Amino acid sequence: MNFFDKLNTNISQNQSLLFVGLDPNPEMIPARYQSSDIIAGLENWLQFIIAETADFICAYKPTLGFYEALGVPGLELLFKTLASIPNHIPIILDAKHSDLNTSSIFARTVFTEWRVDAITLSPYTGQDHVAPFLVYPDQAVFILCCTSNPGAAILQQFPHQKSPFYLQVVQESKTWGTPEQLGLEVGTTDADILKSIRLIAPERIIIARSIWAEEGNLKKILAAGLNGNGDGLLIPVPQDMLGNADLSQQIQLLRTEINQFRSEIIHDASTCEVWLPDISVKDKQPHQDLILQLYDIGCIMFGEFVQASGATFPYYIDLRKIISNPQVFNQVLSAYEEILKNLTFDRLAGIPYGSLPTATGLSLRLHCPMIFPRKEVKAHGTRKVIEGNFYPGETVAVVDDILISGKSVMEGAEKLRSAGLKINDIVVFIDHEQGVKDRLSQNGYCAHSVLTISEIVTTLHQAGRINDAQFLAFQES
């Protein structure tokens, strides 16, 4: 079971959005657990917390830094604590990991050896840092986008409050992974900050932090952070509460209070925004509705756009937005799936970085392991060319988003081949045509596409989304 399903199962079964921080903080340990052996006292306290809360929360979140601060005994305590958590409860390791050099090996350690379900990451080294964690389709990452520390305001509010940097972090990180694999961590007492993040990321799970610094603020935080279904927001159990001898009773009261607030502010599910077809075209293209949706949400634009190659096209396609629209993203995955189900392969490979969310979604759907060739080979750490586990001789189906010149997908495929993998098929969503499939064939690859640019432009013209001049500009390009 992947993290998203595991979390939602616990939210449903325990009727709780609460999570507990399992932090061995010597400054917070209750007097009844204090002893000459600090590690033993902390262990007894943590075991008490787990026993008292397991039936009333949705997740545990141990903070790695507290365990590291205790040295080797602290790491041993971490392993004991992880082993004590019931298997059905998801574990979010609060690591705030930020080192690009160790991202690959750390991802393997925490997800395969420590067997945690999710991890918190710092965003500042970009998608290069996050990608090795997303190779594990059953796990998830949470990107720290905002902190309550007053000293961070000068950075987070830059350049000004109307367009603060933390919102840019939210906007960019949404393109790194699917809603099932990538959430956000927000530390704030300001409901307006949480509301602004929720508006940009309505589909993401948000871990709330530091919300208890102001009394009477809970309802405002819930109103700002919950999604239209009354969930999507994980609430921390107050740290002060974890020292109470009657913890079980206290946490049940808090759960009841939160659920009462949820019931008051849940929106009618029928009011959620759903795209519906607004035209009827004779002999419609099989993917007509999908094409129109892509245009309507801004994935397809017309004008004069300079491409990465330097060429100027009368249109521009940006598929990164689809992962923030579940309705469209689901249809895109289904379209890929129709092609992939007729192919033979052992693993999927996404081409960095645009197609990694799609490849991850397909990996989950098809129950097929995923790998990816690095866009650039690291000059540090393990110097891996390929991220993820594989065996030489296996057959890999390559997934990419847009086929323009074929250069990037062939470079990626060659890296996979250099590692002893067999590449027969390359599957893309949009083919810009102009003989690219033929060039791939000459290099030994069979290319498949869901759509061609001609099909897209013709459908948009027939539907009245683009005018005659825009259609003519495409034909002349």
Which helix (H) or strand (E) is 347 found in, with range?
strand 347-350
Residue 374 assigned ligand-binding role: yes
Backbone angles phi, psi at 143, to 5 degrees: -95, 125
Average pLDDT, the chain: 90
Q: Is 300 annotated as a binding residue?
A: no
* Nearest to 343, CA basis, from 395, 279, 411: 395
The yes-or-no verdict on residue 283 having pLDDT over 70 is no
| Both tokens assigned to 302 | 């017309």
CB 238 within 8 A of CB 250: no
Asked whether residue 378 is marked as a ligand-binding residue, the answer is yes
CA dist 207 and 63 (Å) reads 14
pLDDT above 80 for 277: no
Q: Please report the pLDDT score of residue 310 as a whole number.
A: 59
The predicted model gives 63-80 an average pLDDT of 97
455, amino acid identity: E
Determine the pLDDT at residue 278. Answer: 64
251 is in an annotated binding site: no
Place of tokens 């787990």: 50
pLDDT digits (tens, 9 = 90+) for 147-189: 988 888 888 888 877 789 999 999 889 888 888 889 999 999 9
Per the model's pLDDT, the better-predicted residue between 251 and 212 turns out to be 251
The reported pLDDT for the residue numbered 268 is: 45
* pLDDT at residue 270, as a whole number: 39
**Sequence-separated (6 or more) residues with CB below 8 Å from residue 268:** none
Element of type H or E holding 412: helix 407-418
Tell me if 324 is assigned to a ligand binding site: no
Q: What is the Cα–Cα distance from 156 to 21, expressed in whole angstroms?
A: 25
Q: Are 288 and 279 within 8 A, CB to CB? A: no
Residue 414: per-residue pLDDT: 95
Q: What pLDDT does 317 receive?
A: 87
Is 58 buried (19+), middle (13-18) or exposed (0-12) by CB count in 10 A?
A: buried
pLDDT tops 90 at residue 297? no
User: Cβ distance 81 to 22 under 8 Å?
Assistant: yes
Using pLDDT thresholds of 50, 70 and 90, give the confidence band for residue 309: low
> Is the pTM of the predicted complex or chain greater than 0.85?
no
Place of tokens 């598929």: 319
Active site residues: 96
Structure tokens at 268: 């009618």
pLDDT(476) > 50 = yes
Burial class (CB in 10 A: 0-12, 13-18, 19+), 419: middle
Whether the predicted pLDDT of 382 surpasses 60? no
Check whether 401 is labelled as a binding-site residue. yes
What percentage of the chain reaches a pLDDT higher than 90?
69
H-helix or E-strand spanning residue 165: helix 165-173
Distance CA 226, CA 27 (A): 32
pLDDT value for 424: 97
Q: How far apart are CA 219 and CA 341, in angstroms?
A: 47
**Phi, psi dihedral angles at 305 (to 5 degrees):** -125, 130
Is the per-residue pLDDT at 271 higher than 50? no
Mean pLDDT of 266-271: 48
- With b for 16 or more beta-carbon neighbours within 10 A and e for fewer, the 96-133 pattern comes to bbeebebbbebbbebbeebebbbbbbbbeeebebbbbb
Domain extents in the chain: 3-270, 288-476
pLDDT confidence of residue 315: 85
Contact (Cβ atoms closer than 8 angstroms) between residue 239 and residue 247:
no
Residue 434 pLDDT grade (very low, low, confident, very high; cuts 50, 70, 90): confident
Residue 228: its pLDDT value, please?
77
What is the CATH code for 288-476?
3.40.50.2020
Q: Tell whether 404 is in a known binding site.
A: yes
Q: What is the mean pLDDT of residues 96-105?
A: 94
pLDDT tens digits, one per residue of 457-467? 999 999 999 99
407 is in an annotated binding site: yes
Bigger pLDDT: 336 or 284?
336
For residue 237, the 8-state DSSP code is P
Q: Is 448 annotated as a binding residue?
A: no
Pairing of strands 312-317, 300-306: antiparallel
Say how many residues make up the chain: 477
DSSP assignment of 256-300 equals HHHHHHHHHHPPPGGGS---------TT--TTHHHHHHHHHTTSE
Which residue type occupies 252?
A: Q
Residues 6+ apart with CB under 8 A from 413: 373, 398, 423, 426, 445
**36-49 residue pLDDT tens:** 999 999 999 999 99
Query: What percent of the chain is modeled with pLDDT above 70?
Result: 93
408 is known to lie in a ligand binding site: yes
Q: Which residue has the higher pLDDT, 427 or 134?
A: 427
Encode pLDDT of 388-409 as tens digits.
Answer: 999 999 999 999 999 988 999 9
402 annotated to bind ligand? yes
Kind plus residue range of the DSSP H or E element containing 436? helix 436-442
At residue 266, does pLDDT exceed 70?
no
Average pLDDT over residues 184-196: 94
How open is the CA angle 381-385-386, to the nearest 5 degrees? 110
Q: Domain 3-270 is classified in which CATH homologous superfamily?
A: Aldolase class I (3.20.20.70)
* 129 residue type, one letter: H
Using alpha carbons, list the distances in angstroms from residue 235 to 9, 194, 252, 457.
16, 13, 14, 46
d(Cα 334, Cα 392) in Å, to the nearest integer?
A: 29
- C-alpha 158/C-alpha 27 separation (Å) is 34
Answer for the pair 204, 176: CB distance below 8 angstroms, yes or no: no
